[in-house]
Amino acid sequence: MDADFSEIASFGTDLAEGAVRVGAQGARIVRRAARGVEADAKQNAPVDTGNMRASIGVDLTGDGRFRQMAAEIGPTAPYAPHVEYGTARQSPQPFMGPAATRAEKPFAEACEQLGMRMLE
């Protein structure tokens, strides 16, 4: 009895191509969300000298080709955590947490739409 493995090989090729498409599109979603959080945080950060606001940035690692990408978003000003969370003498003035929270739903929806497109 001869076995026909052509469909299995085709399925493997489709999976590999799909992973590349998902990786590139997923990376685009991560970049867009990270830039959105950065812009939101900058807009809502309290300003005294402007140093903390100017220090808010995005550090992206990976590019999605190997199904890995990460974004680290935040200020580099050393006193930023004291502003975000407050101190014994200063009330918190959160700007990063709320920016991330506002981005959660659009990010999840974009990921869901990507998943649905891959099923088509």
- 35: tokens are 């830039």
Runs of H (alpha helix) within 1-120: 6-44, 51-55, 80-85, 96-119
For 12-63, the pLDDT digits (tens) are 444 445 455 667 888 888 999 999 999 999 999 999 999 999 999 999 988 7
pTM: 0.79
Q: What are phi and psi of 70, to 5 degrees?
A: -140, 155
